[in-house]
Each structure stands twice: as structure tokens, then as C-alpha cells.
Amino acid sequence: MNEIKLNKQVSLKQWRASFCTACLFLVLLSCKSTNSDTQHADLLSLSLVGGLSDAPAEEPVELDLPQIKKRGRLIAIVDNSSTSYFIYKGQAMGYEYDLLTRLAQKLGVDLEIVITTSLDKAFEMLQRGEGDIIAHNLTITKERRAKIAFTLHHNEVRQVLVQRKPKAWRNMTLDNIDKKLIRNPLDLAGKEVYVKKNSSHFSRLVNLSDEIGSDITIREEDPSVEVEALIKKVAKGEIDYTVADENIAQLNAAYYANLDVKTPLSFHQRIAWGVRTNAPELLKAVNSWIKDIRKTPDYAVIYNKYFKNRSNMKMLASSSYSSISGSQLSPYDKHIKDAAAKIGWDWRLLAAVVYQESKFNPEAESWMGASGLMQLMPETAEIFGAADPMDPRQSIMAGASYLQWLDKFWADEVPDPDERKKFVLASYNVGQGHVLDGRKLARKHGRDPQVWEDNVAYFIEKKADPAFYNDEVVSLGYCRGSEPVRYVKNIMQRHARYRQLIPDEVAPEGVKEPLLASAK
């Protein structure tokens, strides 16, 4: 928690004093060593408005829509929260995330997610080209307009006060509850309110203090602290007040029945995304998409899913299978971790394979006869020791053993272990024969047979073309190559998302050994 930097209470009248006056006052008192001096020194290091740092703006990189399309992916900077971006039972979710996936589809590119809870860091990353769009719950302000270009707004919300209901509120009438709560912003005079550093909530409290003609003691938390974490502190009685956007506050009030979020502190404000000021083509494309999607039922469904269906969101956010409140991906994590440790894989990568195959449904069956969590064909299940492929543990262990066998198959041909995983995954999906054909074609056409993307993957996709699948170097003929390429891509992207939100676990020490029976 950063309470105006050195954990000292600071009057907003002092805060609103002019910068020059503060500097002069500091010089006059520089020979003294008092707490008052320290407070004034602290003030000089902060933004006078509380929106963003006063440091000179970093020049944004030259990176607009044509370069993004050429790169093939849109990099979005998001928040980790119950409405922005999280993982539930292995699936990426969130209001911002769902909208971003549709935007990326419209632009014809992949979506890459980067997480940061600090707005200062988000703005820096945007300017450096480490992200293309900030998809936080951003309130449009004048100060921020000087730093970024805002898209058309996709939502309008008010800021509200988050406070606890009285202890015996369940036995009280609504009128008696209201009498115990702050309903008039004037009553915030002298109160202590916690907000996230450099947030629009801080700016609003500064202005509110001027409007009511009295001081509000504002304590600023570290930029990495989530607004939802502050709301939770109020619910637990660790702090008395915070401020949040109304949709976020109402959603969290469904989680915590002892919260009251009915006192507005602002008029409706527009919520938008931000892009670099020198990316007009990206801004134009995003704005055009926003205009269109706001008219569709799809947008209403997405909004209602996260902000209106509060009982469902309460369940999602409180589940041990949600990255918001837990660290599990599925009920089968223990089996996945055991199997991954044996074959030397990150367990989250193996989990991404299981999700891709069956969405963690142990009773899944395909039209081709594959079954279970790892979608093993009967012959493969038998070879690798799964007597009952519908049994979760047997399926995971047999599937991992098969992946281990494939890894050994490719070890000499693809020495780089990270690159080799892509060949292993493709082989798991389509068989190593088609992957070998892709390598032969890559070698023939001057590409690198040890590299997956834009090399072997490119020619596996080409195996749907007679000019390639009839080539004399090809052994297995036609292949719908887009499927294994997409399979590998989806798993690697899902693994990256799991790594962002799900903690790693150290594999047990010991020699890696086969899980079950090996193929001969």
C-alpha cells in the first residue's frame, strides 16, 4: 500500500496547492527535519491530478495496423480480474477478453494477451510497442487523452462508494441500514478512502473534496493492487471505504452480501480502450468494429454474461477452478502433474493438451472411435497401457506415455526441446508420417526441417494441395494439414495463457522414466 508514497496522511488542500508554492515551501524548510517536510517532499513526486505520471511522455514506436497484420497478431494489455481476463476450467474468459477475440477475428489476426494490473506500466508498454491496445476498464479523462488515443466508448458507468453494511444488517429495515451508511457524498468529509494509485477513482476523490469543501483522506494503494482486492478488503473489514466503477462494484456485491454499492460519487463516465496516438489506422479499424458490434445481440450477450448474470459470475469467481480464486484447471490436475513430472513437461502444457482433446470431459468420444480425456484410439490405448481409456488416470498416463514415445522419436531429428514439442503435438494429432512428409517438402523447397512455424507447418498445410501431396517425396498423400497446424497453435497459445495465470509447480526430483508400457 502506497499512501501518498511514505504512508502519511495528506490533506487534499495541501495536495491541490500549486506546484510552485509547494516547491518554494520545500526550499524554505529544507534545513529542518520534520514530518511536515517529508509530507511536502512526497507531494512533489506525485502527479497533481492523479491520473498518470508527470514524467515526460515516451515517444511511441511507429507501429500501426499494417505492421500488426504483417506480424499476424494483436497484442492486448489486459487486467487480471473477474471481468477482464481469467481462466475457468481451462478456458480463457472475461468481458474484455471475449470482445478482444472478436476484434482479432475481425482484423484477421491472432490475439496475444499480456497482463499487467498497473496502468502506468500498461501505458509504458503501449508506447514501447509491447502491446497494441490497452483493454482495461479505462475511464476517458483529459489527462489520459494527452498520452493515448481513446477508442469509441463501449460502456458507460458511474463511480460508486463501496462500504460495508452494519454488522446486524440482516435484522434491520432498509431505512435503518441507510441511516448507518454514507448516502450523501458530503459525509465523506474526514473519512479515509483507499483507492488504486494513479486511478480515475483518485482523481474523482480529489475533485469531490473540492466540491464538498472539506478534506477526504485518500490512501493510495500500489498500482499492482486490483480494484477487486480493495473491494474484498472492505468486505473483510480491513478497510472501511473504496471506490469502484458501478458495474464492477455491483458484480462484487453479489460475491459479498455485506457490501453496499448504492452511493454514486460521479456522473456516468465513458469506458473505452486505448491505442497509441500515432496508430490512426488501428484506431479507425477498432472504432468501426465497436460501432458495429454494439448493435449486435452478441455484444448484449457478452455484457450480460459478465455483468448481469451475477449468480453465475459468483460461481465462476469463487470456484477453485477459476484463476481468480484458485489454482486448479480441472479435477484431474493431480494426474496431469504426476504424468508431466515423469516426462519432464510443464504440467500446464500437458493440461493444455488434455483440454484441447476433451475439454476435461472424461467421457468424450469422437466419431473416429477415440475416447477419454486424451482421446486415445483403442490400439494406442492398449499399446500404452490404458485398459480402460475412459478412466481419467489411465487415459492421462497412457496419453503422456505416448507423448514421451513421440518425443524420443523426434529427439535426433529435432534437437531443440522447445521446437520438438511442436513436432510431438502435431504427431499426436495427425501421426508422425504426415509430419515426416512436411519435413521432406520443407527440405526440398529450401526451408528448415527442424523448425515448425513457417517451415514444416507451412508444407503440412500444403499437403491439401494436389501439387504437393502428389510430390514424389511424399509418402502418405493427402492431409487436411490446417488441422494439425491449428492444433499445435491452439495448444501453445493455451499453454501461454495458463502460464500467465496458473502457478508453476516444481517437478519431483528423480530420473525421468516411462510411465506405462512403451511401444516397441
Number of H helices, E strands in the chain: 23, 13
Q: Are 61 and 128 in contact (CB under 8 A)?
A: yes
The C-alpha cell at 335 is 494426474
Compute and round to an integer the Cα radius of gyration of the chain: 28
Cell of 281: 489506422
**How far does CA 116 lie from the centroid of its chain?**
8
Q: How far apart are CA 339 and CA 400, in angstroms?
A: 6
Residues in a beta bridge with 113: 76
**And the C-alpha cell for 201?**
477513482
Strands 217-221, 192-196: pairing kind: parallel
Backbone angles phi, psi at 515, to 5 degrees: -75, -50
d(CA 402, CA 396): 10
First to last CA, the chain: 60
As a whole number of angstroms, the distance between CA 120 and CA 212 comes to: 29
Q: How far apart are CA 276 and CA 294, in angstroms?
A: 23
Q: Which of 340, 383, 386, 393 is nearest to 362 (CA)?
A: 393
Query: Residue 213: what residue type?
Result: G
Quick one: DSSP state of residue 304? I
Q: Is 246 a catalytic residue?
A: no
* Of 234, 225, 224, 264, nearest in space to 247 by CA: 264
Name the catalytic one among 156, 357, 413, 509.
357
The rounded Cα 201 to chain-centroid distance in angstroms is 22
Active-site residues, by number, are 357
